[in-house]
Amino acid sequence: MATAEHKIRELAIELSEPAQALGSYVPAAVAGKLIYTSGQLPMLNGNLLAAGKVPNDVSLAQAQAAARQAALNGLAALRAHLGSLDKISQVVRLNVWVNSSAGFTDHAKVANGASDILVDIFGASGRHTRCAIGAAGLPLNSPVELDIIAEIL
């Protein structure tokens, strides 16, 4: 069975350096057998992949790609804290906030961009519970923000 680190290499995914905390918080913290990430934005090379409200400013496809990138950034924070993603036994929960235009109701479709990559990397252990929530605004006018809760070995 392929490990998470092996799957990342197989999928040719490059995890960036995790974002540094910009306030009085940490990027990831362990409590018991669970590890939690702080909110993750879809940053790549220091820039948001997209900005604005879904779907008026950011298309559904762009929002799904942003959710995928935010999940990868969450994995980078987990790896930095744990030393290896192979120390994760189960992705337990994914919370996704979508910067939504009035009337938008496809939050779950946006969140699938993050959920799908977690399953691609962790297999059955990447299937998780989830909330997909609309928000009136997010930091930096990001279209999506998420956090990950995982069980560690």
Q: Where are the domains of the chain?
A: 4-16+31-152
What kind and span of H or E run contains 113?
A: helix 107-122
CA atoms within 13 A on the CB side of 70: 34
pLDDT at 21: 83
pLDDT at 1: 65
pLDDT in tens, 24-44: 999 999 999 999 999 999 999
pLDDT at 20: 83
Residue ranges for the chain with pLDDT beneath 50: none
CA dist., res. 34 & res. 39, Å (int) = 16
Question: What kind of fold does domain 4-16+31-152 have according to CATH?
Answer: 60s Ribosomal Protein L30; Chain: A; (3.30.1330)
CA dist., res. 35 & res. 102, Å (int) = 34
pLDDT at 3: 95
Both tokens of residue 70? 């935010």
pLDDT in tens, 94-109: 999 999 999 999 999 9
Cα distances from 24 to residues 6, 21, 27, 115, in angstroms, run 34, 7, 10, 28
pLDDT at 50: 97
Is residue 96 within 8 A of residue 67, CB to CB? The reply is: yes
pTM: 0.97
What kind and span of H or E run contains 14?
A: none
